Amino acid sequence: MIAGHFGFAAIVKSREPRVPLWSLMLATVWLDIVFIPLFLAGIEKLEPIPGLRGGYGQNIIYADYTHSLIGALVLSAAFGLMFGWRWGKRCAFVLGFVSFSHWLLDLVVHRHDMPVLPGNWGNLPRLGFGLWQVKTGSILAELLLVILGTWCYWRAARAASLAAHKGHSRAIVTALLILLGGVAVLVLDVTG
């Protein structure tokens, strides 16, 4: 899931207009960004489901540090603090929350592969509700988040422009970029 995370960031932007949109977008995929070097180093792994070709939602993901419950909490707190020392407590809290929302949304789609403790310490049961098993269901859920995010963002940005007695063409353009960007990411994710 990538597009759905971006959609959620846009929803938060409509509620927290003072936090820059780019930082919310970055927060929402922060866990996956940290995943990349660990994946390249062979510490975190992807394993295609036998019989499937390893495309969209067809992998067991052993992201045992970045996507463990405790790992995600620690990384999210670190992300919030990274910006919070300059932008203030509220931004830190919002960005930390958005970063952790990645784990919560992943929990819905992942195939029972998310550990509680880093490195799956203690061999506790792995988590994940497995919506990826129903491909159309997870695609629709992501699309819904993108559309909802676009709509919330557009409404909030338009109201802000009206209040400032400015035209709202910028709000429309940014909302369109969120919508088109989200749909493009989803299409690439599903077909890639």
The CB-of-32 to Zn ion minimum distance in angstroms stands at 4
The CB-of-35 to Zn ion minimum distance in angstroms stands at 7
CB atoms within 10 A of CB 82: 17
The CB-of-40 to Zn ion minimum distance in angstroms stands at 16
Q: Give whichever of 44 and 106 is closer to Zn ion, judged by the CB atom.
A: 106
115-142 residues labelled b (16+ CB within 10 A) or e (exposed): bbebebeeeeebbbeebbeeeeebbebb
Q: Give whichever of 146 and 156 is closer to Zn ion, judged by the CB atom.
A: 146
**110: Cβ–Cβ under 8 A, 6 or more apart, which residues?**
61, 67, 127, 128, 129, 130, 132
Residue type, position 76, single letter: S
Q: Give whichever of 106 and 113 is closer to Zn ion, judged by the CB atom.
A: 106
CA–CA dist 28, 39 (Å, integer): 19
**Helix ranges, 41-88 (H):** 69-87
Q: Give whichever of 83 and 132 is closer to Zn ion, judged by the CB atom.
A: 132
Task: Return residues touching Zn ion (CB under 5 A).
Answer: 32, 106
The CB-of-73 to Zn ion minimum distance in angstroms stands at 14
Q: What is the largest CA-CA distance in the chain?
A: 58
The CB-of-50 to Zn ion minimum distance in angstroms stands at 22
Q: Give whichever of 60 and 159 is closer to Zn ion, judged by the CB atom.
A: 60
